[in-house]
Amino acid sequence: MKFTVERLFDDPPLAPTLPTAMQFSPNGSLITYLKVAIDDRERLDLWRYHIATKQTRCWVNASELAATSTLSDAEKTARERTRQFTTGITSYSWCPTGERLLLLIAGSGYLLDVQSDELVSFTPPHTRQTDLRFSPRGRFITYVRERNLYCFEVAKARERALTNDDEETLSNGLADFIAQEEMHRFEGYWWREDEKYLAYTRVDEAPIAVSNRLEIDADKINVVPQRYPFAGAENATTQLGIRDMSSGDTKWLRYKNQKDDYLARVNWAGDRLAVQTQSRDQTELTLKFYDVTAARWHHALSESSETWVNLHDNFTHLGKDRFLWTSERDGCSHLYLQSGKVLTQLTHGNGSVERVLYTNEDKAFVSGWFGSPVEQQLYAVPLDGGAMELITWESGWHDVVVDRQGEQFIDRLTALNNPGQVSLRSVTTGSSQPIDGQSLDSRHPYFPYVSQHSTPTLGTLTAEDGQQLHFRLTAPHTRQKSHPVVVYVYGGPGVRRVRNEWSPMLLQLFQQRGFGVMELDNRGSGGRGRAFESPIHLNLGDVEVTDQLVGVAYLRSLSWVDPNRIGVFGHSYGGFMTLMCLSKAPEVFKAGVAVAPVSDWSLYDTHYTERYLRTPESNADGYARSSVFPYLRNLQGKLLLMHGMADDNVLFTHSTMLYKALQAANIPFEMMTYPGSKHALQEREVSVHRFNLILDFFERNL
């Protein structure tokens, strides 16, 4: 059976649909999760698994609940920042007491009674809320509506506004654009454990100059006065306050070391507020505590780097003056224990601690890699400095949730030859209890195509500085003597694409059309430590292209690869890389598709761009070298440019400038724009059209 683009994006989904947002109930009797509906790939339903009886059922079918209204602009923005492209139950959480669950459905807040299954909406009709959360003891639910922070008292079923700003540039309890998109801080408020205090942000975008952005839809053009923080320009002003929930008074904190510091992370550490600030040039990260009672700051530690300091979410308070922390101060991301003023390193060697998942007085469970960066495993790290223990041993990518006692965990495992299994596992005995999984038998939607499935292979190559480059290669199922290959590239920092996991179905679409697909994580990619990331500092699109050419050299050594038919394709940073590959190695790449590409980094935002290039004033040469425009004159291969015409991340201006430059240089190219689409281009009809066009382009030109 022919594998088509239309079928790839149709229902039921062909790709394995494993559970997401897996959680243990507070009493440990249930496991809950969200799962894609079999009849609608864009809808998430809530499921539950009873551990004792091993029974699974759909708890809330979101299709049975009507939407209240269309998405607000703020909600559209938040969904784009978090890459949330589903409908239905988009988030949920357990009440700390375990009596009920909080669900967000179409912008409305619902409470689900665990005993009766009664589902009740508690937010005002025809309104849309974001970031709904229980307070630590479950007495309140807080959320943001129309840029203000609200509190719902559960026992009295009463809502009250905690802020009442009505100026368009002000928002309360919301993370701003930069915090969400580039710092991955999605929260704008934080409860103290005793519910006496609520810390929250008040963001004013007034310092950011207004730039009119066109959102071109099919039947109209909207002029959006967007406050976009271009590299080198002003950022929003972020205040941090602590509200006394009894008196209603808010105390605004002077948390910055320098005027233009970023508010990177906020947590409560017992009675004190733990605040992480990052310098504008991102070479300094400071952790300090604010004592509410004494109204005094206490410096805890600082991180520094000649290039940049990566942010993380691993601060974990252990009581009194003890906390866990991850740092790259020795070159790799390792776990540290701070006790008083003493900082002790707990993990060592070539590897990376990605997330702290659970802690008790004796040990911490962490996810990460020690051995191969293409895998993710679960480790137990003794807090007394003892040897680290590997808990999961199966090769692949493990996403883990540990229960409150640290005795068992949910393991979501996938690998190149394993579409995915979810199981409940014991930490001590290793016993396993299946919860969900994907068997590609005759009942699975992908079964008609399994006989033509091509399992990718993993491998390593060597960069010019001696560092190891990992790649994933998907060869055509039926190999002849000569096949074209598409280099599917991202190449940007903070991302690791090459993994031992069930690969995207898009790769199968290409290979069944006779294309090989090469993916390689070049230097600059994330999760590999400072030495691997830092070569891109002050100059983007240089060593990344050099490393991709190492991959091409390997491809040319394979008997089934036609060395004269190599293409390249990427989205966002991958679009930038596509243009750089075509322009810097025109004799190698014969065709390329650049989707939503960055063309000039001075048009991108502050936090991301300045992390790698500093400001345009301080590194003008670096910005010039990192722009695609000086190299376009060398472009010889066929080029297809694609962009959403309402993109608020990589602005459509990046592509219109490319159109003009290519036309001025009399360089032919193809283009496709998508009215109304933003950066992700995730609409189903857009996806079908886009990938049909990409396949057609490569079939014509390779």
Name the amino acid, one letter, at 225: P
List of residues 6+ apart from 451 with CB closer than 8 A? none
Pairing of strands 342-345, 334-339: antiparallel
Contact 596, 650 (CB under 8 A): yes
Among the three residues 243, 269, 291, which one is the final residue of a domain in this structure? 243
DSSP string, 81-107: HTT---EEEEEEEE-TTSSEEEEEETT
Number of domains observed in the structure of the chain:
2
**Predicted pLDDT at 221:** 86
List of residues 6+ apart from 389 with CB closer than 8 A? 379, 380, 381, 382
Contact 535, 528 (CB under 8 A): no
In a domain, 11, yes or no: no
Strands (E), 6-107: 20-24, 30-37, 40-50, 55-60, 87-94, 100-105
Among the three residues 199, 214, 243, which one is the final residue of a domain in this structure? 243
Q: How far is Cα 608 from Cα 613, in angstroms, rounded to an integer?
A: 9
Question: In the block, which residue shows the tokens 């066109």?
Answer: 214
**Predicted pLDDT at 86:** 66
In a domain, 391, yes or no: no
In a domain, 575, yes or no: yes
> Under the phi-then-psi rule, with left for phi > 0, alpha for psi from -120 to 50, and beta for the rest, what region is 367?
beta
What 3-state DSSP class applies to 67?
A: coil
Q: How far is Cα 117 from Cα 698, in angstroms, rounded to an integer?
A: 52
Question: In the block, which residue shows the tokens 């890459």?
Answer: 83
In a domain, 38, yes or no: no
Return the CATH number at 492: 3.40.50.1820
**Predicted pLDDT at 217:** 87
**Predicted pLDDT at 146:** 95
Q: How far is Cα 99 from Cα 29, in angstroms, rounded to an integer?
A: 13
Q: Which two tokens stand for residue 215?
A: 């959102």
Among the three residues 213, 228, 243, which one is the final residue of a domain in this structure? 243
**Predicted pLDDT at 76:** 52
CA separation (Å) from 297 to 240, 254, 256, 289? 14, 9, 11, 6
In a domain, 656, yes or no: yes
Question: In the block, which residue shows the tokens 């988030």?
Answer: 91
Q: Which two tokens stand for residue 474?
A: 């998907």
DSSP string, 361-396: SSEEEEEEESS-TT-BEEEEEETTS---EE---SSS
Q: What is the pTM of this model?
A: 0.94
Residues of the chain with pLDDT under 50: 68-69, 75, 79, 81-84
Q: Which residues are catalytic?
A: 572, 647, 679
Give the number of other Cβ atoms within 10 Å of residue 126's Cβ.
9
In a domain, 421, yes or no: no
b/e string for 41-74 if b means 16 or more Cβ within 10 A?
Answer: bebbbbbbbebeeeeeeebbebeebeebeeebeb
Domain with 511 in it: 452-701
Q: How far is Cα 26 from Cα 332, in angstroms, rounded to an integer?
A: 35
> Under the phi-then-psi rule, with left for phi > 0, alpha for psi from -120 to 50, and beta for the rest, what region is 348?
beta
What 3-state DSSP class applies to 530?
A: helix
Return the CATH number at 224: 2.140.10.30
- Of 374, 372, 376, 335, give the one whose Cα is nearest residue 353: 335
In a domain, 587, yes or no: yes
In a domain, 220, yes or no: yes
**Predicted pLDDT at 64:** 84
- Of 209, 206, 211, 266, give the one whose Cα is nearest residue 240: 266
CA angle in degrees (0–180, nearest 5) for 277-280-283: 80
Give the number of other Cβ atoms within 10 Å of residue 459's Cβ.
15
Question: Per-residue pLDDT tens for 616-671?
Answer: 999 999 999 999 999 999 999 999 999 999 998 999 999 999 999 999 999 999 99
Q: How far is Cα 561 from Cα 489, in angstroms, rounded to an integer?
A: 18
